[in-house]
Amino acid sequence: MHLNSIHPRLPLVGLLVLASQLMVACGGSSGETPDPTTDPSVVGSEAPSADDQPITEDPAFNNAVGFSVVREPGARLAVVEVDPEISDATFELGLPEAVITVPEGVDTTTNQAPFFEDLQNLTVEAGEIIEIVYRPQDPEGELPGMFPEKLPQGGTFDDNFDGSKTFRWQPLQMDVGILKFTVTALDPENSLYRTSQPILIKTVLPEDLSSIPNVAPTLDTLLTYTARVNDPVVFELKGIDLNGTVPTLEVPNLPAGATFNQHPRFEEVFVLKFTPTTVGETVIDVLARDSVDSSLTTTEAVSLSVLAADAFDRDGSALKALASNRNVQIGFAALQSFYHQPDGAIYASTAAQEYDIVTPENSMKMDYLNPEPGRYQFAATDNLVAFANANAMAVHGHPLVWYRQLPTWITSSVVAERETHMSEYIERVMTRYADDVSVWDVINEPMADDGSLRDSVWLEAMGSEYIDKALTQARTLAPAAAILINEFDIGFAGPKFDGLVELVDGLQERDVPLDGIGFQMHVFTSFNQFDELEANFAQIAARDLDIYITELDVSLDGSATIVEQAAAYQQVVNICLEQVRCKAIQTWGLTDQYSFRSNFDPLLFDRAYQAKPAYGAVQDALSVN
């Protein structure tokens, strides 16, 4: 957990409670100056505001070593995500349609999909316990298996050992709103032949609020972390109370020298900071106390595996030393706010030892950076730049113009005003980081799979010219930086790559500035189109453009081994090195711990920051001359 993932779901009541909690959270117990920018009139103003300047963060809240950290000044919501709760109108339409997945080879005339009978949407009062029996049927008469897509907090899905299972759940205040609950039935003959049936559960408040039981608060789930002895560790501990109130957190036995402070912006978060001085498993009990009934508590253990410093030693030369001999940069995409994670210090030192270029994985996306008109959140990117500067790393800005991760105020904006919004945004961001960023993904993912331009709010507003305009503006604002179009699924032959080449040819005919193409390369171990990758690189190079491998990761698919993964990395690096226009190789993330595809362990470092065979393979590829 870090602070940008504090409120995954904002039910109606929760949202109101949360907003008021956040307003009072300002100042916290850190002794920092209360935010002067909570004037609601600032929000919604179109003009960029000076109130967005980050302020120094008390070091008790981070584990940064060698650079200092700033934070957002205000207590306002980090991201105003009005993620659409399902509307009442949708609820009234009745049971959502089932989704049937038919794998290749299934003849649906002789084998029909499993299905559920007797399910319907339901309305429940907070505090009531619901029980729904699921009994999937198979037209061929066998008993289908089943599993729920995701259980709401406190929900269970119990086997009745007669072919049915029962979903039991007691929604509380935090669940007020409409929840989509999906169960998937598996065809008895082919478990990939599936029917996923959602139901909508609408939770409302009862008239008598005292009828809702008060439950004990809990601690938000944490991962398993590894730290290096004598490195500072911070745990952002978040209390959760399904009744919608804010629990207090306590650490009965604070480790020696530890600090424990309420977060200055998020009332439900407490930050524990300490420096483990001995190797081994450290376990710390954290007690969450109910704010209404102080006798209601739960205690949860937070654990950390502390390894000796030499456990992180690696054989051979650092990747950046090897890469620099081969005239390429080597880098990674940085987890947002890694210095707020328990293992942030070893994260930072691993990155600093190995890499000389870094991309912010998320903090430069428009929904985060500019969540409301005129309001910017620069702190996370400022911190990454400070980290990069302290460690002689170049910064690769990502992404300026993209169809995803847009704030609602852009997606719902008047079409005729979007060009102004785009150019104001580009100007604000590029100007701020002009001295720090050497490569920009100006246009991200403009192509559709069929080679046409992908539909987007920008295409809708300006047609294909949005690309010309953004690149031209970018060149003016950062004349010395490399400006790129960054795209995925172009590492092999096909209409998407052909469409991209056509786009590039058009830009060049019109003299639109462009320095290179970013090949993302999110591949699986089964990827084997290396000849096509080489040929695509050659086509880009033939257009006098540079090539950047921007988002490389190799996911383990099926029974693939980490040795096969290493071989794929090695081939991609070799192909880059054989192409003189290939300027950089960046992996999308540093460690499997935080990869966006962490289920597939796609990176060079495992969750405990140990180098995998892929690391050695990249070293080998970079070493051969």
User: Which is closer to ligand G3I, CB of 365 or CB of 496?
Assistant: 365
Secondary structure of 214-229 in the HEC alphabet?
A: CCCCEECCCCCEEEEC
Residue 445 annotated among the catalytic residues of the structure: yes
Closest separation between CB of residue 74 and ligand G3I, Å?
A: 16
Residue placing its CB nearer to ligand G3I in the complex, 165 or 396? 396
| CB closer to ligand G3I, 130 vs 453 | 453
Residue among 173 and 486 whose Cβ is closer to ligand G3I: 486
Minimum CB–partner distance for residue 58 and ligand G3I (Å):
22
Tokens of 228: 């290096």
What is the smallest separation between the CB atom of 177 and ligand G3I, expressed in angstroms? 15
The residue of the chain with the least Cβ separation from ligand G3I equals 596
Cβ at position 404, least distance to ligand G3I in Å: 6
Counting every residue written for the chain, the total comes to 625
Residues in Cβ contact with 569 at an 8 Å cutoff, skipping those fewer than 6 apart: 552, 554, 604, 614, 617, 618, 621
Q: For the CB of residue 365, give the shortest distance to ligand G3I in the complex, in Å.
A: 5
Local structure of 184: helix, strand or coil:
strand
* Interface positions with ligand G3I (CB under 6 A): 4-5, 7-8, 79, 361-362, 365, 404-405, 488, 520, 551, 596
Among residues 242 and 577, whose Cβ is nearest to ligand G3I? 242
Closest listed residue to residue 517, CA positions, set 551, 493, 476, 494 = 551
The least distance separating ligand G3I from the CB of residue 178, rounded to whole angstroms, comes to 18
Active-site residue (options: 207, 551, 564, 578) = 551
Name 146's Cβ contacts closer than 8 Å, sequence gap at least 6: 134, 136, 165, 183, 184, 185, 186
DSSP-derived 3-state class of residue 465 = helix
Cβ atoms of 331 and 355 within 8 Å: the answer is yes
Rounded least distance, CB 517 to ligand G3I, Å: 14
Exactly one of 85, 354, 445, 487 is catalytic; which is it? 445
**Catalytic annotation present for 551:** yes
The dihedral through the CA atoms of 381, 385, 390, 392 has a sign that is positive
Helix (H, G, I), strand (E, B) or coil at 84: coil
Residue 545 tokens read as 């453009």
HSE-up (13 A, CA, CB side) for residue 179 = 25
DSSP structure class, residue 79: S
Q: And the tokens for 501?
A: 């080449």
Q: How far apart are CA 391 and CA 385, in angstroms?
A: 10
Q: Closer CB to ligand G3I, residue 7 or residue 289? A: 7
Give me the sign of the Cα torsion angle 356, 357, 361, 364: positive
Nearer to ligand G3I by Cβ, of 312 and 402: the residue is 402
Catalytic residues: 445, 551
